[in-house]
Amino acid sequence: MSSCLNKILCRYFAKKTPTIDNNYQNNVQIYCNGEPKNCAIYMIFDKLGFLKVPVDLRPEQTAKAKSLIGN
């Protein structure tokens, strides 16, 4: 368990995403305050940088993140 270092820049954490996400509270527990390295947004932050994070990407969309990264 750890707190994500990207919280200050993360649109999802700040609820500045274009769509309503009913899993927000769960995702914050699971990813932001749990295991950030399993988060799709974190993966993009880490490998491609903040500017490459799609505005509508959610933490559980790891397959999409891996596809964008090229894994």
Output the smallest distance, CB 24 to ligand SF4, in A: 9
Give the binding site for ligand SF4 (CB under 6 A).
4, 6-7, 10, 12-13, 31-32, 36, 39, 41-42, 45, 59
Output the smallest distance, CB 70 to ligand SF4, in A: 19
- Is residue 48 classed exposed, middle or buried when 0-12, 13-18 and 19+ CB atoms within 10 A define those classes? middle
Comparison of 23 and 71: residue with beta carbon closer to ligand SF4: 23
Q: How many residues does the chain have?
A: 71
Q: How far is residue 55's CA from residue 33's CA, in Å, rounded to a whole number?
A: 21
